[in-house]
Amino acid sequence: MSTLKPTNYPALYMLIVVFFFWGFIAAGNSVFIPFCKHYFGLDQFQSQLVDFAFYGAYYLGALVLFISGNSSGKDLVGQWGYKKSIVYGLLFSALGAAAMIFAVNGKSFPGMLIGLFVVALGFSIQQTAANPFAILLGDPSTGSTRVNLGGGINSFGTMIGPLIVAFALFGSSKAVTDDMISSLDLNKVIVLYVVVGVLFVLAASLFGFSKSVPNGVSEEKTEKANKAMKSLMIITGLLIVIFSQVFNSYSASYLTTHQDLEQVEYFRVLMLFLALVVIVGGLVYSYFLSQKKSEGWGAMQYPQLVLGMLGIFIYVGVEVAIGSNLGELLKQKEFGGYESSSIAPFISMYWGSLMIGRWAGAISAFNFSNQWRKILTFVVPLVAFGLILLSNSIAKYDVSDLYWYIICVVVQIIAFYIADDRPAKSLIIFGILGIISMIIGMLTSGLVAVYAFLSGGLFCSILWPCIFTLSIAGLGKYTSQGSAFLIMMILGGAIIPPIQGKLSDIIGIHFSFIIPVLCFGYLAFFGIKVKSILKSQGIDFDEKVESLH
């Protein structure tokens, strides 16, 4: 009788700290963005450059790793080993934290963007290695449980990140007005990034010097995809040209009249939508070329993968866009008129909503009976909701405005029962609920609208594993490469939030949420389309969802 390979718990505990960092820093940006807007006198688009720098680094990092592997025929992360890759990634992030310290001290917004870019570049290396490393740290049959544990800790980081960053920015006072922000002392922010940088180095040291952590070296060859590489490089080059035009328009010296400014605003919107067209059009065109001759295209010859790349791009984009633009919405009188120092509970609840859904989605990864699974599907989201309220109460925030949000949580619980952990069905149901919630938010005001926009987090929560699972189904030897392509599409977090930000500068923050409506629309469409695509390939794919982002 065979026995399960024992789990390396010391290494696993260190690894889930890395998962926590991803969520903590990313969600903290949602508080950092409105702060930067007032501290540096930015418009809504410029403030969204925080997301552009952060998630753009994910794309470039993954692209460089892919190009390296495609050129050498060997996976660079596999050659280094998962252990060293995570160490290198942590040290990169530590350098980014150091850059943030100098930038904050010098009150330089571009310097902060560079710091966040380097932090996220380290994250891209870590994320490429962390999931397979989690599986390696025990028996393969229980690998999804360890990945889900990391996902749960990641979501916990997204929940408390806004609270800690808000404390670093505004201290214990919740009465800091937006007009007072420009005169704030940023010493606490410096202390925050000193602590974060030290934790990065400490985690790297623990990984690097621990004899109990396996090296995780892989000699597996990488499938060649030269045409896909050229296509992605062309897309990247065009994006660089487009965004350089957008950024240059901000320093144009000829902007002397209102008409000039108005024309440039429309030019910027046009350029941002052109960037979206380049990505969508580039991927679709690459797919059609691959159908004529599949050689050299690798995983991109599969329609489920190409549509899934767009799905991940849009999913990450809408998840980040709602959270990043929520602060500006809450400042409007018809939505509460909150100061930037008082929005942390709402931002925490938005990112906590993803935690609620992910914790519920993780239940199926454990060996519970069907009856217990149904009970926990009801109980776990309510416990997670209570934990979010408790965390905010401990931070001395008034959470009375969030009590009735439990209604939205109950709606999500019902959706979980209906979807029954089926990826395509979940995509359709949660995508439609996302559309409905955004439309309700746009047609109403006050707490009803705020709840509707917050619930976007509930309906985003389970979509990553659904998209990922369906996209790599049937890829065979190209599965690893397809996974790498999907990770690249985290780029959506760099493109879609600035598009909504710039649109809000023109039509107002309230109706800029038409962007999330369109995003959820595509995600629901993907759920319908990919199921028929897989059936045409002889794959009746209706497995349970077992992985989290």
3-state secondary structure 34-81: HHHHHHCCCCHHHHCHHHHHHHHHHHHHHHHHHHHHHHHCECHHHHHC
> What pLDDT was estimated at residue 409?
97
> What pLDDT was estimated at residue 169?
78
β-bridge mates for residue 74, sequence order: 221
CA-nearest of 144, 133, 138 to 4 is 138
> What pLDDT was estimated at residue 43?
79
Q: Answer whether 465's CB lies under 8 Å from 363's CB.
A: no
Token readout for 133 is 């490393």
Q: Of 133 and 527, which is predicted with more confidence?
A: 527
The count of other CB atoms within 10 Å of the CB of residue 256 is 9
Q: Look at residue 544 and tell me whether its pLDDT is greater than 70.
A: no
Helix (H) or strand (E) holding 134: helix 109-136
Task: State what percent of residues in the chain have pLDDT above 90.
Answer: 34
Q: Look at residue 176 and tell me whether its pLDDT is greater than 80.
A: no
> What pLDDT was estimated at residue 255?
47
Q: Give pLDDT tens digits for 489-512.
A: 999 998 899 889 888 888 899 999
Can you tell me the distance from the alpha carbon of 201 to that of 88, in angstroms, rounded to the nearest whole number? 10
Can you tell me the distance from the alpha carbon of 272 to that of 265, in angstroms, rounded to the nearest whole number? 11
Q: Of 68 and 434, which is predicted with more confidence?
A: 434
CA-nearest of 347, 253, 288, 302 to 471 is 302
Can you tell me the distance from the alpha carbon of 50 to that of 164, in angstroms, rounded to the nearest whole number? 18
Helices (H) and strands (E) in the chain, counts: 20, 0
CA-nearest of 268, 270, 273 to 246 is 268
CA-nearest of 70, 79, 192, 156 to 125 is 79
Coil, helix or strand at residue 186: coil
Can you tell me the distance from the alpha carbon of 162 to that of 345, in angstroms, rounded to the nearest whole number? 8
Q: Look at residue 207 and tell me whether its pLDDT is greater than 50.
A: yes
Residue 467: CA count within 13 A, CB half-sphere: 31
277-286, 460-469, 506-515: the lowest-pLDDT one: 460-469
> What pLDDT was estimated at residue 548?
45
Q: Of 427 and 364, which is predicted with more confidence?
A: 427
Q: Is 410 exposed, middle or buried (0-12, 13-18, 19+ CB in 10 A)?
A: middle
Give residue 253's pLDDT band: very low, low, confident or very high (50, 70, 90).
very low
Q: Of 75 and 124, which is predicted with more confidence?
A: 124
Q: Answer whether 355's CB lies under 8 Å from 457's CB.
A: no
Torsion of CA 305, 311, 314, 317, to 10 degrees: -80
Q: Look at residue 197 and tell me whether its pLDDT is greater than 70.
A: yes
Task: State what percent of residues in the chain have pLDDT above 70.
Answer: 89
Can you tell me the distance from the alpha carbon of 86 to that of 14, in angstroms, rounded to the nearest whole number? 11
Amino acid at 93: S
Can you tell me the distance from the alpha carbon of 17 to that of 327, in angstroms, rounded to the nearest whole number? 28
Exposed e or buried b for every residue in 230-248, given b needs 16+ CB within 10 A? ebbeebbebbeebbeebee
> What pLDDT was estimated at residue 50?
87
> What pLDDT was estimated at residue 468?
84
Give residue 172's pLDDT band: very low, low, confident or very high (50, 70, 90).
low
Token readout for 134 is 């989690």
102-116, 119-133, 407-421, 447-461: the lowest-pLDDT one: 119-133
Q: Answer whether 48's CB lies under 8 Å from 327's CB.
A: no
Q: Look at residue 86 and tell me whether its pLDDT is greater than 70.
A: yes
Q: Look at residue 175 and tell me whether its pLDDT is greater than 60.
A: no
Q: Answer whether 468's CB lies under 8 Å from 549's CB.
A: yes
305-314, 489-498, 510-519, 538-547: the lowest-pLDDT one: 538-547
Q: Answer whether 166's CB lies under 8 Å from 176's CB.
A: no
Q: Look at residue 236 and tell me whether its pLDDT is greater than 70.
A: yes
Q: Answer whether 347's CB lies under 8 Å from 30's CB.
A: yes
Sign of the alpha-carbon torsion through 180, 186, 189, 193: positive
Taking all residues of the chain, what is their mean pLDDT, rounded to a whole number? Answer: 84
**pTM, rounded to two decimals:** 0.86
